[in-house]
Structure 1
Amino acid sequence: MTGRNDTQETCNKVEEGYNFLGKKWVGIIIHTLSKEPKRFSEILGAIPDLSKRMLNERMKELEDYGIVIRNVITDRPVRTEYSLTRKGNELGVTLRVFEKWAEKWM
């Protein structure tokens, strides 16, 4: 009877995904990074009302989930950029479908 266990595991993963995406700022941060890598200050400037503390917290969570990668660029001046991973880009594609829905219906 692996069918029921597989269904439960799928439900748990979907619920975890929804819970993570439902956190304030997660979706819009992914949206902001979907076109190109950005520095912390660029992300902060692109999202009104987002505090440095909250952005820092969310970026750490996105890194922990493997959605965002932090890249240190050693050119002068040294800078740090954030970009979506392959996993993050796949999520971004899914979120763009939602964004089209939201533009039409919200």
Structure 2
Amino acid sequence: MAGYDYDAAFCPHYHHAAELVGRRWTGAIIRALLHGATHFSQIRDTIPDLTDKMLTTRLRELETEGIVARTVVPESPVRVEYHLTDKGRGLEQAVRALNDWADHWLVAGQDQPH
């Protein structure tokens, strides 16, 4: 196809980021952390229908990617806290933009802008 830039249309870094953040529950978890949730139960309670198993899986993935840091607080009883790293906080603008898009285009019960 003349004029179509195949190299510009696909970027492996963009694809990885979209696949990572686009996994079920991941965006909601990042949003909860951006809004101040730090404990497992806070994150879970913020997101309806999120199971403990799925939250554990997603937090581990985000930790492996360097987006979330897990900290064990040596108190009695021991507490575990989750925080976004600098890399994770770097997603704030993207999360905010997606939220604004959703508010504009996906508001339930209202006429959709054309």
| In structure 1, C-alpha distance between the alignment counterparts of 2:32 and 2:104, rounded to whole Å | 20
Deviations 1:72-97 (A, max 9, x none): 11233320010100000011222111
Aligned residues: 99
Amino acid at match of 1:71: T
1:29 aligns with 2:1: no
Q: Does the 8 Å contact 1:37/1:84 carry over to 2? A: no
**Which one has more relative contact order, counting CA pairs under 8 Å at least 6 apart?**
1
The alignment's C-alpha RMSD in Å is 1.6
Deviations 1:25-61 (A, max 9, x none): 0100000000324111111111110111111100000
TM-score, L = length of structure 1: 0.85
Question: Does the residue aligned with 2:35 lie in a helix, a strand or coil?
Answer: coil
Amino acid at match of 2:54: M
Give the gaps of 5 or more residues in structure 2: 1-6, 107-114
Q: Does the 8 Å contact 2:37/2:43 carry over to 1? A: no
Q: Report what 1:20 is aligned to.
A: 20
Q: Report what 2:66 is aligned to.
A: 66
| Identical residues among aligned pairs (%) | 39
| In structure 1, C-alpha distance between the alignment counterparts of 2:18 and 2:94, rounded to whole Å | 13
Q: Does the 8 Å contact 1:62/1:68 carry over to 2? A: yes
Where in structure 1 do 4 or more consecutive aligned residues deviate above 6 Å?
Answer: none
Q: Report what 1:100 is aligned to.
A: 100
Give the gaps of 5 or more residues in structure 1: 1-6
| In structure 1, C-alpha distance between the alignment counterparts of 2:93 and 2:104, rounded to whole Å | 17
Q: Report what 1:91 is aligned to.
A: 91
TM-score, L = length of structure 2: 0.80
Say which one has the larger Rg: 2
Q: Does the 8 Å contact 1:44/1:51 carry over to 2? A: yes
